[in-house]
Amino acid sequence: MFRLFYIDRDPDYYNDLICWLPEYCTLHNLLLQDIESRLPPLKWETDILLINPEYTGHSVDFLSELIERLLPVPLIFLSDTTELPFVVSLMKTGAHSFLNKRKDKSILIETIKQIIYNMPDHSDSESEILLPELVGTSSHIQKLKKDIIRLRSSSIHIHLTGETGTGKEMAARAIHKCRSDQKKKLFALNCGSLAENLVESELFGTRKGAFTDAVERAGLFETADGSTLMLDEVSELSKTAQVKLLRVLEYGTFNRVGGTKELKSDFQLITASNRNLRDEVSKGNFREDLFYRITTLIINIPPLRARKEDIGELSRHFLKINKSERKITAGAMNKLKDHSWPGNIRELKQVIERADHFSWQNKAIEPKHIVFY
């Protein structure tokens, strides 16, 4: 996580900033007396400082001293004024940027991203910027992020393993984001959620008249051409579907259900399962040749109980998604960390949403609001 200090007395803009900033940034509000109490000596545990120069009384000398003592921490001025002489004098102090706080929202976010990207420990900042959806700072999640970053220039087939609710689809989306054009969509299918004939229709598409009520429709193999296809719970595919999938992967060709025209598709495949595919092969439930085809690289997504140090950050993430400003008391956090989390991240999300609902009359979530079903 990257720490940003915001120095101003505009609570509305501070709240807006919290909503705008990327997930890998935390924001702390300081008042003017907080600055003065730190000068000298100045000890800042921050990565970027955001300050409204009007709040300091337009004192260029004070701001110059502040920047000199802060170096190398970058400083961004967020101002209500655009008066040229004032802007020029401020930029001469050595600040990184001067932005209009009312008009330059998108520029501010991109500036912050660029500053973080150019920080000395580039590999860590890179993973935070590219993979903000993978929330957490535990060694498990940091390894996962680095493994995914290394896949940027690779098109190999990837198989994700892990218990239900650990975030395999989120990891797949992160891999897709790293390896693909941002405009390209990830196409996903849960193979265990549909009957055998419907799975084939979804994957291969259908020709009009192939069966009762069949219409001319492209399948996921067709629509995912040039992009990424994720097959979740791939272990649930029937033997017939496994044979057909293997052929598509070997030759890049297929036919729609009921069709004779050969179609081509080139997609990056990500599969996932909460079962051990090697065990399924041993039991005769999964084809060994398909196993080797789809498991060029296997990435395990750890259960939440193995990364309990991420529970606090994940909980705050879910509150933010829920547009809630509630805090979590120490007692409530201890209760969360004492739980075994059989449902993993999916369960935590539901628990936090429920706690946010139960604490509607409170400013903070307390232990009594944490309910497990």
Give the CB-side neighbour count of residue 154, counting CA atoms within 13 A: 13
Q: Show the tokens assigned to 197.
A: 């004939």
Domains of the chain: 2-121 (3.40.50.2300), 150-300 (3.40.50.300), 304-369 (1.10.8.60)
Which residue is it, tokens 């961004």? 76
- Regions in the chain scoring below 50 on pLDDT: 39-43, 122-123
Q: Over the range 169-192, which residues count as b (16 or more CB within 10 Å of their CB) and which as e? A: bebbbbbbbbbbeeeeebbbbbbe
pLDDT of residue 122: 46
Q: What are the tens digits of pLDDT across the range 73-91?
A: 787 888 776 666 666 776 6
Cα(101)–Cα(109) distance, integer angstroms: 11
Cα(333)–Cα(312) distance, integer angstroms: 7
What phi and psi values does residue 182 have, to the nearest 5 degrees?
Answer: -60, -20
Cα(329)–Cα(258) distance, integer angstroms: 60
Cα(365)–Cα(352) distance, integer angstroms: 9
Burial-class residue 138 by CB neighbours within 10 Å (0-12, 13-18, 19+): middle
DSSP 76: E
Q: What are the tens digits of pLDDT across the range 249-302?
A: 999 999 888 888 899 999 999 999 999 999 999 999 999 999 999 999 999 999
pLDDT of residue 189: 94
Q: Show the tokens assigned to 186.
A: 């990830």
